[in-house]
Amino acid sequence: MHRPLDAAPAATVPIGRRAFAAGLGALALPGCSATAVRPGTASAQAACLRPVNVSPDRVIRTVAGLRPYRRSGFVVRREALGDTALIHNYGHGGSGITLSWGTSRLAADLGLPGHQGPVAVLGCGIVGLTTARLVQEAGFPVTLYARELPPETTSNIAGGQFGPSSLFDPEFVDEAWRAQFLAALHYGWRRFQIMVGDDYGIHWTPTYEHSDGTAPHAAMRPFHPNGRVLGPGEHPFPNTHVFAYDTMYAETGRLLRQLMRDVQTAGGRIEVRDFASREQVMALPEKLVFNCTGLGAHALFGDEELMPIRGQLAILLPQPEVTYAYLSGSLYMFPRADGIVLGGTFERGQWDATPQPDSIARILDRHAAVFGTMSCPA
């Protein structure tokens, strides 16, 4: 899963994109005021968007995934296991797609200098695959070891928006971590741009997000191109203000399939294997190991801070005329070629990755209330 939701208080887990941006205030960067709307541009673009047809008989599948959340954010850290160098790269919360290339770049820079010989990567979700590709691009042979392969990974359930979410509690991160976060975000932003197209299932999509009338924090400004605040009469949504911007979305199934092909085409091996202890990791023939196990690091490496945050999705039949995304608090709608993604929930400490019928029904009802009240501005 890749989005926020209902059950967690915002004070402990920033769950929305705008709540997340507010958490960046400690970066001590200049603020960002509302962006003026030029007459006839933003209003015209948002004027008469086609509503989503939210009906239970249009649901083609329901899914639930477990976000690997840590209050202190993702981990990129080096550890010695005997004569094995272990590089951790996990704990991305609801930001796995967004930060995958970025934290993998941080991890590769931490582990590869001075290394000789083959490399192992644990985990075959988006973080494991991007780490493996960067290792290969640096000229090293790589083997991916994973208990589950796509399409059975948590990454396959992600909504796929480029935008950090449900990643950290501002009270539990320091300046060094924030610097890592921004470096990862900028690298991922550039990397995804060169992958746009049908091969990887990545596309730019106009996005409309509930707003209090101001634009997001200045630190997020580079990731909201064409950003502008729309007021009453300038958009069709049942919100007073929305923030409109463009960003990238990934059809996650296609993205992961193509990355697996890339790894294998470059000579990488993929081996299905489960690890029950550190000792089994130390016994690998590779003496540089990247840990990209996500929530699996809780048991395998004893990270007690790591917790699951369950997110549930209802996927509707594709609607090609819906060419925009919408977010409001805990609700989000992403249009993809494989279906309209409706989320979701934010359920702390839930280890059961099974969709719950009552939760799915609430997701549908709340989206139906939004799209049933859309109206073209006069």
Contact 162, 249 (CB under 8 A): yes
**CA neighbor of 185 nearest in space, from 78, 60, 97:** 97
Which residue spans within the chain are E strands per DSSP? Answer: 59-69, 75-81, 84-90, 119-122, 142-146, 202-211, 228-230, 241-250, 269-272, 288-291, 307-316, 325-328, 331-336, 339-343, 347-348
* CA angle at 215 for the pair 22 and 212, rounded to the nearest 5°: 80
Beta carbons within 8 Å of 259's beta carbon, 6+ residues apart: 126, 129, 130, 133, 200
Strand pairing category for 339-343 and 347-348 = unpaired
Distance CA 89, CA 85 (A): 13
pTM, entire model: 0.89
Q: Give 77's strand partners.
A: 88
Distance CA 186, CA 99 (A): 9
Residue 154, number of CB atoms within 10 A of its CB: 25
pLDDT (0 to 100) of residue 62:
97
Distance CA 11, CA 235 (A): 30
Q: Residue ranges per domain, the chain?
A: 1-26+68-306
Contact 282, 73 (CB under 8 A): no
Strand pairing category for 142-146 and 269-272 = parallel
Exposed/middle/buried for 92, CB within 10 Å: 0-12, 13-18, 19+? buried
Q: Classify the C-alpha dihedral 363-296-268-185 as positive or negative.
A: positive
Distance CA 205, CA 36 (A): 21
Structure tokens at 102: 């970025």
Write out the chain's pLDDT in tens, 378 residues.
333 322 232 323 334 454 455 455 444 332 233 333 333 334 445 668 999 999 999 999 999 999 999 999 999 999 999 999 999 999 999 999 999 999 999 999 999 999 999 999 999 999 999 999 999 999 999 999 999 999 999 999 999 999 998 899 999 999 999 999 999 999 999 999 999 999 999 999 999 999 999 988 888 899 999 999 999 989 999 999 999 999 999 999 999 999 999 999 999 999 999 999 999 999 999 999 999 999 999 999 999 999 999 999 999 999 999 999 999 988 999 999 999 999 988 899 999 999 999 999 999 999 999 999 998 876
Report which secondary-structure segment, H or E, holds 193: helix 175-193
Distance CA 145, CA 131 (A): 12
Distance CA 67, CA 211 (A): 25
pLDDT (0 to 100) of residue 20:
52
If you write DSSP's letter for every residue of 124-144 in order, what string do you get?
-SHHHHHHHHHHHHTT--EEE
Using the 8-state DSSP alphabet, how is residue 309 labeled?
A: E
Structure tokens at 311: 């997110």
If you write DSSP's letter for every residue of 38-51 in order, what string do you get?
PTTTHHHHHTTPPP
In three-state secondary structure terms, 314 is strand
pLDDT (0 to 100) of residue 102:
98
